[in-house]
Amino acid sequence: MVQPGNQVEEAAAESIQQRTKRRLEGLRELPSSAAALQRALVMLDEPLCTNRRLEMVLTSDQGALTGLLRLANSAYFGVSGEVVCAATAIRVIGHRRLRALLCHMVAGKLFEVLRMDHPIVDAVRRKAMAAAVACGEIGLATDEGFELRVAGLLHNVGELALASEYPDELEQTKDVEATFGIRWESAGAMLLQAWRMPKPIVRAAKSWRVAPYEEDLPEAQRTVDAVHAGATMAEAWIGGDTAISAAARVHEDAIERLELTEKRLTQIFGKIPIGIHNLERML
């Protein structure tokens, strides 16, 4: 016989799960302020995508254009001289990095609309930024640093979506899937896929905790490994752990594939605070 108290708890859990499903369905549509960004992301996936078409889309939205030029002129791209128009920004940055830049701008839009006035939401947001900093440092020696940084920034967007809607429930639960009906990693991957984010970013959001060998999507391997390392250290940093302990949590296989050392990981860990400070000015 089901006890009355259990019935109430089950009904409450079911209600939260139903509301979570509706909330995630609602978030599949990006804020209207990000419409031009999403159109450009969709366009970048098209075989006949041209710089001229991208320019027309991005210049149709003053906010998108302003953000594009601001990021194109940032130190992350190291462009010689000032970029003053969308055509130059697209040509200089290239389609690959433009896609990462647009994803970064989408993340900024989401941070604007999601509720942030709760300690656990702030912690989740700071974890995203800490992971972004660490991932960017992992890719610093290559031309993929900005792309990996964006992957780190978006790795826990599912957790951020749940935390912004149900901060108290997320803070109290010991089983996210039982409470909300979905793991936050799965929720994040679902949202990123709906937003037409690059496949490596989607895969990293879904499987970063275990950093598996990506046999069916080899182009995602480095992104998954970098996000695993960066997000693992970010969680440790948020939890007040030490650099040495944080580095020890990263899977050996991921470290080997990334050609990192524990010493380098501890150095990256130490750069998280100032990195977050700099990143906050770009979101």
Q: Which CATH number characterizes residue 230's domain?
A: 1.10.3210.10
pTM, whole model, 2 decimals? 0.86
Q: Are residues 141 and 263 in the same domain?
A: yes
What local confidence, expressed as pLDDT, does residue 74 receive?
78
What local confidence, expressed as pLDDT, does residue 2 receive?
47
Pick from 113, 145, 160: which residue ends a domain?
113
Q: Are residues 241 and 136 in the same domain?
A: yes
pLDDT, tens digit, 9 for 90 and up, residues 96-112: 888 888 888 888 888 87
What local confidence, expressed as pLDDT, does residue 11 receive?
53
Q: Are residues 108 and 120 in the same domain?
A: no
Q: Which residues of the chain have pLDDT under 50?
A: 1-2
What local confidence, expressed as pLDDT, does residue 230 receive?
97
Q: Are residues 282 and 156 in the same domain?
A: yes
Residue 185 counted as domain residue: yes
Q: Are residues 129 and 153 in the same domain?
A: yes
3-state secondary structure the chain: CCCHHHHHHHHHHHHHHHHHHHHHHHHCCCCHHHHHHHHHHHHHCCCCCCHHHHHHHHHCCHHHHHHHHHHHCCCCCCCCCCCCCHHHHHHHHHHHHHHHHHHHHHHHHHHHHCCCCCHHHHHHHHHHHHHHHHHHHHCCCCCCHHHHHHHHHHCCHHHHHHHHHCHHHHHHCCCHHHHHCCCHHHHHHHHHHHCCCCHHHHHHHHHCCCCCCCCCCHHHHHHHHHHHHHHHHHHHHHCCCCHHHHHHHCCHHHHHHHCCCHHHHHHHHHCHHHHHHHHHCCC
What local confidence, expressed as pLDDT, does residue 96 receive?
85
Residue 8 counted as domain residue: no
What local confidence, expressed as pLDDT, does residue 67 receive?
81
Q: Are residues 123 and 194 in the same domain?
A: yes
Q: Are residues 57 and 103 in the same domain?
A: yes
Q: Are residues 190 and 78 in the same domain?
A: no
Q: Are residues 130 and 87 in the same domain?
A: no
Pick from 113, 137, 157: which residue ends a domain?
113
* Total of domains in the chain: 2
Residue 209 counted as domain residue: yes
Residue 9 counted as domain residue: no
Q: Are residues 253 and 267 in the same domain?
A: yes
Residue 216's domain comprises 115-283
What local confidence, expressed as pLDDT, does residue 229 receive?
97
Pick from 113, 145, 175: which residue ends a domain?
113
Q: Are residues 230 and 220 in the same domain?
A: yes
Q: Are residues 132 and 246 in the same domain?
A: yes
